Amino acid sequence: MRIGELSRRTGVPTRLLRYYEEQHLLHPERTGNGYRSYPEAAVGQVGQIRGLLDSGLTTEMIRVILPYLCGPGHLVPDPESLPAETAALLRGHIDRIQARIDCLARNRDRLTAYLAAVRPDDR
């Protein structure tokens, strides 16, 4: 499929699809006239890229881990082959996510306690 169709099917602008290609996240073939040609699997790949970006991963991190993913929630059959550097990159990201969760939970609890103290009837 051409880039416009991929854009329509995924809801991702063509400009962003070209950026994913520049970042080596997508690898379309080129037709004789130079047009990009994407396989059907690109629809799922774009969805996966969007999900990983939404989780806070950078395009650099995504480029590193994409070879070990074969779909949402599915790992390539030999997860032991994941290099130590890639595992450390993911561990660091997980730790940053947990730190944000902890901070948000503390803030939620403090705001809840404050609101209960100043407006005890608002529940």
Total-model pTM:
0.71
Cα-to-chain-centroid distance, residue 69: 12
Q: Are 47 and 72 in contact (CB under 8 A)?
A: yes
CA 6 – CA 42 distance, rounded (Å): 8
Q: What share of the chain is helix, strand, coil (3-state, %, to 5)?
A: 65, 5, 30
C-alpha to C-alpha distances, 70 to 9, 48, 60, 65, 119, nearest whole angstrom: 20, 9, 18, 10, 51
| Strand 69-71 versus strand 36-37 pairing type | unpaired
Task: Encode pLDDT of 52-73 as tens digits.
Answer: 899 888 999 899 888 877 655 5
Task: Encode pLDDT of 24-58 as tens digits.
Answer: 999 999 999 999 999 999 999 999 999 989 988 89
| pLDDT for residue 83 is more than 90 | no
| pLDDT for residue 113 is more than 80 | yes
The mean of the pLDDT values for the chain is 89
Biggest distance spanned by C-alpha atoms of the chain: 71
| pLDDT for residue 75 is more than 60 | no
